[in-house]
Structure 1
């Protein structure tokens, strides 16, 4: 398993009984966590929190606020800053475990010593990978695509916060599959492709996405968008029903040449030997 390096002001204090206790700067929150199928180690720390996300029927829920909260919090990793806030579906505007993938991307880009690289970031959320790639000297353009208008605006704010507005970042609110099909017709190509698809979702025009049905067809299409000298394709999955081996098999159906590394990723729990699993990452390089 690949694990997260330390953020400056984010950590998981404890986890267990399908919940996790997180610290964002000096704010404590509790969120549901289906993979925390073990016991809490620090039960006394769970009582004095600022907010709790309570799951209700049909896997929905809402935040219960117990103490005054700022409208947003700036989370810091390395030289980057990201806006965090309590949102719908228990989201906080950032997936902290993805920082290890940002580090890996930057290392690959740096070691390649290449310039004029074109990056496609799909299901791009609030732009963590967009910031990581746009801050690299060798990157000429980042195309950031997400179906949610609010998330794209959030990503724009993160890019601005990191003083990267001078970089060539193109933001698009679009259905990923439809966008990719148009790019194929336009004969566009990218040296780097990043995708972080949800288990289930809908596009701006109510287009249905189900990862078990649509991931392999999407990967086949993305293979057509890779340049003649691609650097990498990185896939991240949070779907608890898709194991690392299942993701590996799906990627092997498409990428039968080159190198493929598929690993679980996770976040160490503070002052504990336990690691909270947070997803699976597949990395293809030629």
Structure 2
């Protein structure tokens, strides 16, 4: 099968988000009522809008600390809030997200993942299982978790950082949902324990970072541990009724690597697709935002 390239077609009803421009290793984005300017290592091309327009338009600009690739601070214009809410509404989903300006340039939502939220809703609804069990590991602020919950699943949300779990809970409550199972634990430890106990899930969502730490200091290095993680996940995914999503944002990983990893661990990958997720800015430039592989029995 040839590589599939998936682009997020931002639903017309989701007017709150827009990638306005990209280039010069930065991106200019609209999140609800605010426009943010922040670093983007993939945007190696020229900007389409002049610098003066970027400066005039942005309500907040992220400045990296000297010598740091990620950490920094936000420079806010008058009237810019540090926290606000942004809805995501389509024919299938009605979600609400708390956004906040973190010291690591993130704001609590990855808009390109909307493609996967719609995929989750579709698959949960189609599975011939009442309240299918879904596991979301490296779950961050829970966009996929609340999408799965709204679809009618029994969702377990795993992340190693307590503050992120609290943020996810706020997103659940803001979306008028309840009863997500929250677990603060190292992802690999959790899935190994679930495999040992014989617990089975109909849906599994993985979005591992390049590097990370568990709650007890456990070290996560993507290249060294992703193969082991996928082999363990394969033991807890239902063999008959299932879906799986694997996202990876690592500049060293191609979608072909992801395809090989998945095929080595899973014997059944029906209806599969893999490739790059990207967003298109207002000037038709395509910004790559990770590689993925997803498959489903329905």
Please, what TM-score do these two structures have when normalized by structure 2? 0.90
Contact 1:190 1:230 in 2 (8 A): no
Q: Which runs of 5+ in 1 are unaligned?
A: none
CA contact (8 A) 1:24 1:73 kept: no
Q: Which residue is equivalent to 2:169?
A: 156
1:3 aligns with 2:7: yes
CA distance in 1, matches of 2:55, 2:268: 52
TM-score, normalising length: structure 1: 0.94
Higher mean Cα deviation, 246-255 or 235-244? 246-255
> In structure 2, the residue corresponding to 1:246 is in which secondary structure?
helix
1:230 is displaced (CA, Å) by 3.4
Cα pair 1:143 1:169 within 8 Å, conserved: yes
Distance 2:280 2:231 in 1: 34
Task: Give structure 2 stretches of 5+ with no counterpart.
Answer: none
Counterpart in 1 of 2:59?
50
Residue aligning to 1:226: 237
Partner-residue secondary structure (3-state), 1:201: strand
Shift, 1:45, TM fit: 2.3
**In structure 2, what is the Cα distance between the partners aligned to 1:135 and 1:153?**
19
Q: Deviations over 1:43-69 (max 9, x none)?
A: 242012222112231323222223332
- Name the structure 2 match of 1:263: 275
Which runs of at least 4 in structure 1 moved beyond 3 Å after TM superposition? none
Distance 1:112 1:184, change over 3 A: closer
| SS of alignment partner, residue 209 of structure 2 | coil
For the 8 Å contact 2:29–2:36, the answer to whether it is kept is: yes
Equivalent residues of 1:125, 1:152 under 8 A apart:
yes
Q: Are the aligned partners of 2:21 and 2:49 in contact in 1 as well (CA < 8 Å)?
A: yes
What is the alpha-carbon distance in structure 1 between the residues aligned to residue 194 and residue 268 of structure 2?
23
Are the aligned partners of 1:51 and 1:67 in contact in 2 as well (CA < 8 Å)?
A: no
- 2: distance between equivalents of 1:124 and 1:262? 20
Aligned positions, number? 281
The answer for the alignment partner of 1:21 in structure 2 is 28
